[in-house]
Structures are given as C-alpha cells and as structure tokens.
Amino acid sequence: MNDFQDEYLPGDHKPDVHIKKRKKSPFITQLLLFIITIATTVLSGLEWQNGSGGLIEINQLLIGLPYSFSILFFLASHEFGHYFASRYHKVDATLPYFIPFISFFGVFLNFGTLGAVIRTKSEIPNKKALFDIGVSGPLAGFVACLIILVYGFTHLPGRDFIVSIHPDYFMPKHASGGLQLAFGDTLLFSTLRYIFTSPGTFIPPMSEIYHYPFLCVGWFGLFVTSMNMVPVGQLDGGHIIYAMFGKKNHELIAGISMILLILLGVLGVLQMYVYTWITIGWAGWLFWATVLFFILKIQHPPIGDMEPLDKKRKIIGYIALFVFVLCFSPSPFSITF
C-alpha cells in the first residue's frame, strides 16, 4: 500500500512555502519490532510442535528456532523484494516493520506474527514502477517458500517424531471425538509433496503438518502470498492487474474477485453452522472481503503515467498470476469436532 508520510508546516511569513518537518529515524522501532517478532515466533513454533500448557524452560526455546527462522526468512524475502524494487525506481520506502503477535498458549491459529509491511513515502511515478514494486514481493516470497518446502519435504523426520507428540497416533481411536485442525492443500504443496518424498516415507497429513516447522511455514507462506495476490485494490495482485490491464479491467477483475471471496466466505459459514457436508469455503474469506471493501478499498488509485508495459514485464506478470493459482486454497483451514 502507498502511505505518504511527508509532513509540511506552513511558514508564518510565507504561506506558499512549506518546511518539511524533521522526523526521528524509525530504525530503532523497526529493530525492536523485529526482536519482539523473533521472540513471539519462537514461542509460536514451540507451541505448534509441542502443544500448549506448562512452564517453558530455556532449552525448550531451541525447538521453536527452526519455525522462527523460516517464517522470518519468508517475510523478509517478501518485504525486501518490495523494498529493493522501490529503491530501484527511486521511490522513498522504509525498511520492513515486522508485526509480532504475542503467543498466548492455547490461542488457536497463532503464527506468532501478523506479517510485515514497508511504507512508501513518495509517489509511485509510473506503471512500470508500480508493476515492479507490486510483483517483486510475492515472487521473492514465493521463491523463499519453495526453498523452505523443498527442504521440509526432503528432511521429513520418521514416525517416531509424530509418536513423540501423539503417543496414540497410530492407534485406531486417535483424534476421535476431539477438535481437529487441518490446513487446506494447494496445487503447489501437493506437487512438491509428490516430487520430493520417497515411497515408504511417513508423510504427515494436512491435519498434522503444523507440527513440522518447515512444512508449516512453507504452507503459511503460500497462504499469505495468495492473500496478497488477490487482484483487488492496492494488494500486490491489484497493483499487478492495474499495471498490466489498466483501470477499467482492474475494476472488473476486482469486482469479480470480491464476489468470489464473499461466495467462498458464505460457503464457509454454512459449512460451520448449517450444512456440514459442504467441502469448500472458509469463513475467513468473508472477513478478508470486509477488510478489502471498507479499509483497503476495491479500486486502485490512479497512476499518472499509463504507458503500456513491455513484453518482459507482461510475461513476469502472467507468471505471478500463475503463482497465485498455485498458492491459493479455497479452504485454507477446516475444523472438525
């Protein structure tokens, strides 16, 4: 999103002259947020793997480090993709602000962070700059996800690992009568699972991958990438569509995307409370659609220079849209009782 931060103070004797107000460097704030996010993601990684409850010993924190390192690597890759593209086009942008989320043990779906953002503090001059800044984050984050997932699938622990967490895992009555969370499969996740796992290897089902830090973070990265690539407003996908196809086509595609999000959200609500046989949809998409409509907005603000993109950028744009298809899951979370 574009966030214009320049502040001007009118001069007393020259009303037409503006003096830029000096600001303190935000570096200290960003550093503190990063350190806090390391702590919250370590705790979250420990919780995903070991479950909640009990006091934490210092040596246990080491268990959460692979998760923390992986998720920060993904978020940093995504945001620095935006940052370096902004710098290339001489757009003033901040370094990433990491957003910690305090891990209260027992809180459901706690990833230890709400992501990271950079803030652009000057106007984006043209469509090429808009496209490059918009596409660089998702593609950089996508590459990071590939690295994490390939490593995760090629270094799967044996059956003893899941038994150490669920001693009764291979018994007939395991998970019967309790609440169960399952992550939704995606085209990319299932393809990598097929390519990089060997016959005879224990492959955790989607209801257990949150115990495996690299698979959990890789899946989370695909989920975040797909959310950012929804072609609406000033999301990364919105930037790409606007730069590639122009204002009118962007409005059409954004409108259709919103209708689909609302439909998937409604199906998710019906699945939870009315028709349990529905297998597609997630109530969270309804919330995301609400955020897009009221906060981020559906339309994209105009860009001054509307010169068409060159062929190379269009090819990259279509690759990015294909990445969206690979990462998207219509039912990213399902909960059964």
Reply yes or no on whether the pLDDT at 172 is more than 60.
Answer: yes
Residue 5 in any domain: the answer is no
SS3 at position 296 = helix
Residue ranges in the chain assigned as alpha helix (H): 27-50, 65-88, 127-154, 159-165, 187-196, 213-228, 236-273, 283-291, 311-327
Distances in whole angstroms, Cα of residue 173 to Cα of each of 166, 170, 176: 12, 9, 6
Residue 6 in any domain: the answer is no
Compute the average pLDDT of residues 238-261.
Answer: 96
Q: Is the dihedral of CA 51, 52, 56, 61 positive or negative?
A: positive
Residue 322 in any domain: the answer is yes
Q: Which of 206, 81, 51 is nearest to 145 (CA)?
A: 81
Q: What is the pLDDT of residue 264?
A: 97
Q: Model confidence at 58, in pLDDT bands (50, 70, 90)?
A: confident
Rounded Cα distance between 265 and 258, Å, is: 10
Reply yes or no on whether the pLDDT at 22 is more than 50.
Answer: no
Give the chain's length: 337
Residue 11 in any domain: the answer is no
Q: Could you tell me if 155 and 204 are in contact, meaning their C-beta atoms sit under 8 angstroms apart?
A: no
Residue 15 in any domain: the answer is no
Parent domain of 305? 25-336
Rounded Cα distance between 111 and 100, Å, is: 9
Q: Which of 284, 293, 292, 294 is nearest to 330 (CA)?
A: 284
Rounded Cα distance between 169 and 41, Å, is: 26
Q: Which of 155, 139, 197 is nearest to 326 (CA)?
A: 139
Q: What is the pLDDT of residue 189?
A: 98
Q: Model confidence at 176, in pLDDT bands (50, 70, 90)?
A: low
Q: What is the pTM of this model?
A: 0.89
Count of the separate structural domains present in the chain = 1
Least confident of 53-62, 123-132, 226-235: 53-62
| Beta-bridge mates of residue 305 | 126
Rg of the chain over all Cα atoms, to the nearest angstrom: 22
Compute the average pLDDT of residues 204-217.
Answer: 95
Compute the average pLDDT of residues 272-295.
Answer: 91
Q: What is the pLDDT of residue 304?
A: 77
Rounded Cα distance between 208 and 210, Å, is: 5
| pLDDT tens for each residue of 94-144 | 999 999 998 665 555 689 999 999 999 899 999 999 999 999 999 999 999
Q: What is the pLDDT of residue 306?
A: 72
Under DSSP, the state recorded for 93 is: B
How does the average pLDDT of the chain come out, rounded?
88
Least confident of 23-32, 225-234, 253-262, 298-307: 23-32
Q: Which of 322, 130, 332, 80 is nearest to 224 (CA)?
A: 332
Residue 16 in any domain: the answer is no
Residue 20 in any domain: the answer is no
Reply yes or no on whether the pLDDT at 30 is more than 90.
Answer: yes
Residue 327 in any domain: the answer is yes
